[in-house]
């Protein structure tokens, strides 16, 4: 019987949903992600699999996981896990990126619409009987006809492209790898260099993993290339944007606005300057989290574990040996 240790920061109700989909012959024990390392070390010694949300374990705990065949992440992010140490220890790692693509893509579109249609402001004005104070026709916008630059054309970026195509947007992308020609044809999307994409786009949306190469990918120089009417959306990782640079740019309306689901520090200090800006829409890192996502995530989690238990490689692999 495979033994799984599940370290999580999730609401217990969410954990119960994930456990409902586990195969009957899997033994799973659940512990808080902030359990102290001494306790974690005692728990992982005889585990076959580790399930993590978020993907964070210290080196001492990893070294104690001597029988672990796979670390499976509930989410897509892997920037807090020492993959090189996992490689040295012979532990495979798999994430869960593709399963939340629809959720994050829909949230991306929601952020675009939220800023473009000023939904938060309009709600406040409607509730306080100030119907005539907002100059609607001068301050709201449509997606149709706009050029959207997608930075990162992975699972999520591709789904964003599909949704925005339905709104009548023109699509361009930047990625370290060129997409297959058939995918570019399907999405009606073309690849540009980063600077050209920033100069061309009415909306720029970020969908890259956090790595040393993408940390502060969007800084002061990159923001200076964007149109003054442009909108910046981030649903990947806060550290991909230099927040000091973004704050200063937004304060003087050098770009039109931003929709952010992620920040460099989460939760932010209550006095964080971005929180006081009216041209920013912020949500608390929830783009990939919907009730509907847990079934999809569970399927890939237990499929990966079953595959590894039977001697095969996992799907959605970050690190194979």
Q: Which of 20, 266, 278, 299 is catalytic?
A: 266
Distance of CA 166 to the CA centre of its chain: 22
Q: Which of 158, 237, 296, 297 is catalytic?
A: 237
Residues 135 and 128: their CA atoms lie apart, in Å, by 16
**Residue 237 annotated to the active site:** yes
Identify the burial level of 134 via C-beta atoms within 10 angstroms of its C-beta, where 0-12 means exposed, 13-18 middle and 19 or more buried.
Answer: middle
Check the CA dihedral 272-221-105-7 and report its sign.
Answer: negative
Q: Which of 87, 165, 285, 307 is catalytic?
A: 285
Residues 250 and 192: their CA atoms lie apart, in Å, by 25
User: In the numeric block, which tokens belong to residue 238?
Assistant: 């806060």
Q: H or E segment at 28?
A: strand 27-32
Q: Residue 241 carries which DSSP code?
A: B
**Residue 107 annotated to the active site:** no
**Residue 177 annotated to the active site:** no
> Cα dist. 210→76, 144, 203, 215, 237 in Å?
11, 30, 21, 6, 6
What is the set of active-site residues? 237, 266, 285
């Amino acid at each position: 019987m495979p033994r799984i240790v599940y370290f999580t920061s999730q609401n217990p109700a969410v954990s119960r949903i994930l456990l409902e989909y586990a195969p009957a012959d899997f033994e799973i024990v659940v512990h808080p992600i902030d359990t102290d390392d001494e306790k974690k070390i005692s728990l992982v010694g005889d585990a076959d699999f580790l399930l993590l949300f978020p993907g964070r374990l210290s080196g001492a705990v990893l070294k104690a996981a001597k029988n672990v065949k796979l670390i499976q992440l509930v989410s897509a992010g892997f920037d807090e896990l020492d993959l090189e140490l996992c490689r040295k220890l012979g532990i495979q790692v798999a994430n869960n990126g593709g399963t939340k693509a629809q959720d994050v893509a829909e949230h991306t579109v929601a952020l675009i619409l939220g800023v473009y249609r000023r939904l938060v402001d309009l709600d406040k004005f409607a509730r306080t009987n100030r119907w005539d104070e907002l100059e609607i026709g001068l301050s709201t916008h449509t997606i149709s006809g706009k050029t959207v630059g997608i930075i990162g054309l992975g699972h999520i970026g591709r789904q964003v492209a599909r949704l925005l195509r339905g709104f009548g947007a023109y699509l361009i992308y930047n990625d370290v790898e060129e997409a297959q020609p058939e995918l570019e044809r399907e999405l009606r999307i073309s690849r540009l260099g980063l600077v050209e994409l920033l100069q061309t786009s009415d909306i720029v949306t970020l969908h890259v993993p956090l790595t040393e190469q993408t940390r502060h990918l969007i800084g002061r120089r990159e923001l200076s290339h964007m149109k003054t009417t442009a909108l910046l959306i981030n649903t990947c990782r806060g550290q991909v944007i230099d927040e000091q640079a973004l704050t200063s740019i937004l304060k003087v309306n050098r770009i039109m606005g931003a929709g952010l689901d992620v920040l460099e520090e989460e939760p932010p200090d209550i006095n964080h300057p971005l929180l006081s800006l009216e041209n920013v829409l912020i949500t608390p890192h929830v783009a990939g989290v919907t009730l509907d996502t847990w079934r999809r995530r569970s399927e890939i989690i237990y499929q990966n574990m079953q595959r590894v238990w039977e001697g095969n490689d996992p799907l959605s692999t970050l690190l194979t040996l």
